[in-house]
Structure 1
């Protein structure tokens, strides 16, 4: 039995999991950037690092990566999950609003940057076909690294964030014609390249249209069914099926898997299941992205860098400078302020993960030589390791320029909801509470676990989302850290207690108002730390008393004052 197990696969996976689950979190707690940590450890533990000395020191077999392909599939899923989460943050209307930046700014950046880099490669003595593949591949930036940085800083919806993402989206779309171009150059059939690329792009658009059409019909119905089962395990399985299934469907049509997942995310972004799905996917995304950055680090050839450090640093500087001097003026041409243009150019200056796809495909087809491929991928990997530093430098330059020009300060925060109330439970009581908040001009977000009820209320344009408030990650995604109050209206004691525990651990200062059955239940809730418990029996008796006193001729103002006084007495007794 043991002899049938491929130990190299398990040892490689264990090295990556130990890195992602133990080493990087510890290093991050010490203040190191997680992306740089993954890339550095990948370079150190990869086959081009310590793995190269395995013949002399066999024990390194257990602490290095033997075969990179053993973890390549897991790494690709990291980018798939990232693009899915990005899609969840967008909507179709917002995406269409970005079309000018995607196809204008993004398209021009790819064409101009690729042309300059191709020319430079030819001047370095690289063949024309090799130079074209390398130039196009190096023109692309890292969606995974840049979006992760912007998301962590909550800057995805700022001017800089939207423009940056638009360019990245155009670059992701450009992977399809890049791979087609490699295939055409490899076949050398003499067919008109422009014609073949045009037909291929039309086929890609038709494929995405089919995925969108199928998703609109299928996704909401699936999640309605899964949500009604009230099983977190089934919901998790359905989410993973959609993410991986959408990527697989895109791959069947010759598109990047990440593109299919991105489309699925957009389709779910306007549904009541968005926040629940995001809460489930996000932990997977973090781990898988870590594996991805680790595999990118494995492409850094430390030996080659030691042999020719001057050449690699020169090529690295050329790549960064070319992309900055192309992107910044183009961004200004598309009406971006100078600070935003500079910051975006610095964010996108490094190479990206799809360079590994394009150059790898060229090397496999025999178009790109092993020496050129190794040198280019080493430059890309090092540039990706510099992305956090470039982003910080770009942000500082943008601030300095903004102050010098006495213009408006950079927009720091995206259009996220802040100062809102979170209403848990949207039954009869929850609807009344939400209605009163809305009547007084206060923002709210409501949560309910009944998919039919949530769908019905969303058709009335109420801000209700499907989800389980006992999930701390879900509450965080609902804006717990920015909320001004939490109102719990559900009639489930165990669930209520769990929600209070989560919220009090995360926000000791947050006002919590909870529906209680009676005085005994209210005392229990006060002991747990709620701000205000409202017993149904006491409130009913106070309302009856109010109606009785008014009917017996007592003035309204006097009655209201006495009812408030009695309510305060009850509250003090219960507390």
Structure 2
């Protein structure tokens, strides 16, 4: 118990010291959290070393963020942006995965490794992108809507991605594992069950809880609802963030939506900050020291390829010219779900431990580059063009 409290004090102190300084210097809060994580992590001050446990817990920040976004998305509104989700999202995944897979092949990787790497690196960071869009109030801009649609499609792409990985592994892979079609069927069945339960039971449950007149009970129910559905989705290999988004959408038409949103806001902010601190802590400087040029080159290649591909797609996405560079930079990093794909690929023996560690580091560092590149974009982009971001 004492050790846990000490960790909490360290996290809070690091955030209170580094984040305001980062904001004051113009670097933004996300980079501040990342730097705080680097400072207290196992490679600098070594104040906290159990990074994996912290990272798993901190994913609740992403879960609550997607839940709050879902609260603002009635089913009718979601249906209205279906073209954005499937058109833009599908195009981004296809183009980025194709180009990144081809890049792996050019450098001599076997086709199975190349395909796995291309699919994993085509994903972007939900936490990074949504936090930036909300901080700059860009969610309702063309760039924000296109970016959100892409992220939502990427979360849904978890079903075929996870189902595909065992098929890419050696024939001697675990025979007890479920076949891909069964994984997909279970995921779709769980999604349907959650939607039906939300439609027929949620309003009754909310009213029963509200009648108690105890605010703490209402908050506890809201947390149970979102975390429970996120875990159910995770149990069938869907991303927890997608589960949280669905939980929010099911509550969006409820008369208690605003009360739930108000209750969740403090938890979301603190846990999302903890997630970024954990990402900073997870940077493996051992790999970086051993292969600095290779790691730096891979980060540049990843961010560069995705940024160029996204910029080219932006004109097809009807993103105004003044927002295209911002849009391309915003989604150019690797995403947190890439860690899940890499872990599953390692378990299926598609990739080895050395490659998994290297790509994990590249993804993490690419996430660190995003706030830096956005800062450069804000400082040096043509003023007349940059004004489009505020329209």
Q: Does TM-score exceed 0.5, indicating one fold?
A: yes
Query: Take 1:94 and 1:399, find their aligned partners in 2: how far apart are those partners?
Result: 34
Q: How do 1:181-330 residues align onto structure 2 when only pairs under 5 Å count? A: 181-186=164-169, 188=171, 200-201=183-184, 203-330=186-313
- The verdict on how the C-alpha distance between 1:362 and 1:72 changes in structure 2, with shifts beyond 3 A counting, is same
Which SS does the other structure have where 2:169 is aligned?
Answer: helix
Q: Do structure 1's residue 38 and structure 2's residue 33 form an aligned pair? A: yes
1:316 counterpart SS class:
helix
- Residue by residue over 1:358-397, the C-alpha shift from the partner in whole angstroms, topping out at 9 and shown as x without a partner, is 1122223332222222221212111111222333445678
2:317 to 302, 311, 334: 334
1:244 shift after superposition: 0.7
Tell me the residue number matched to 2:126.
Answer: 143
Give the one of 320, 328, 336 matched to 1:353.
Answer: 336
Per-residue CA deviations over 1:125-169 (Å, capped at 9, x if unaligned) read 333222222211111111101101111121111111111100111
Distance 1:158-1:334 versus aligned 2 partners, 3 A rule: closer
Alignment of 1:116-155 (within 5 A): 116-155=99-138
- Name the Cα RMSD after superposition: 2.7
**Following the alignment from structure 1 to structure 2, what is the Cα–Cα distance between the partners of residues 183 and 8?**
39
Q: Which residue is equivalent to 2:51?
A: 68
- Structure 1 residues 105 and 215 mapped into 2: Cα distance closer, same or farther (>3 Å)? same
Unmatched 5+ stretches in structure 2: 174-178
1:27 paired residue among 8, 18, 21: 21
Aligned residue in 2 for 1:87: 70
| Inter-CA distance 378–273: structure 2 relative to 1 (3 Å threshold) | same
Provide the rounded CA distance (Å) in 2 between the counterparts of 1:161 and 1:331: 12
Q: C-alpha distance in 2, partners of 1:228/1:234? A: 10
For the 8 Å contact 2:183–2:236, the answer to whether it is kept is: no
Deviations 1:176-222 (A, max 9, x none): 322222233236379xxxxx756654553343222111112222222
**Gap change, CA 1:266 and 1:394, over 3 Å in 2:** farther
SS state at 1:351 partner: coil
In structure 1, how many angstroms separate the alpha carbons of the residues matched to 2:245 and 2:3?
Answer: 33
SS at match of 1:388: helix
Query: Which deviates more from structure 2 when the two are superposed, residues 350-359 or residues 299-308?
Result: 299-308
User: Aligned equivalents of 2:381 and 2:59: distance in 1?
Assistant: 33
Residues of 2 paired with 1:221 and 1:256: CA distance? Answer: 27
Is the counterpart of residue 368 in structure 1 residue 351 in structure 2?
yes
Aligned to 1:562: none
TM superposition shift of 1:108: 1.6
Tell me if structure 1 keeps the 8 A contact 2:123–2:337: yes
Aligned pair in 2 of structure 1 residues 314, 69: CA closer, same or farther (>3 Å)? closer
Residues 226 and 238 in structure 1, CA contact (< 8 A), matched pair in contact too: yes
CA deviation map 1:62-107 (0-9, x unaligned): x122x22332331121111111111112221111111112111111
- Quickly say closer, same or farther: Cα 1:202–1:70, change in 2 above 3 A: closer
Q: Which moved more, 1:360-369 or 1:263-272?
A: 360-369
Per mean C-alpha deviation after superposition, the further-off stretch among 252-261 and 362-371 is 362-371
Contact 1:323 1:345 in 2 (8 A): yes
Contact 1:356 1:377 in 2 (8 A): yes
> Which structure has greater helix proportion?
2
Structure with more contact order per residue of length (Cα contacts < 8 Å, sep ≥ 6)? 2
Cα distance 1:24–1:95, how it changes in 2: closer, same or farther (>3 A)?
Answer: farther
Superposed displacement of residue 311, structure 1: 1.8
The DSSP-based 3-state class of the residue aligned with 2:255 is coil
1:109 aligns with 2:92: yes
Larger strand fraction of residues: 1
2:176 corresponding residue in structure 1: none
The 1-side partners of 2:390 and 2:300 are apart by: 29
Whole-angstrom distance in 2 between the partners of 1:81 and 1:17: 19
Shift of 1:23: 3.5
In the TM superposition, what is the alpha-carbon distance from 1:283 to its structure 2 partner?
0.7
**2 CA distance for matches of 1:219 and 1:27?**
44
Distance in 2 between residues matched to 1:115 and 1:161, nearest whole Å? 24
- Gaps (5+ residues) in structure 1? 52-59, 191-195, 404-408, 414-575
> Is the Cα contact below 8 Å between 1:50 and 1:64 reproduced in 2?
no
Larger Rg: 1
How many residues are aligned here? 385
| Structure 1 residues 184 and 96, CA gap change in structure 2 (3 angstroms) | same
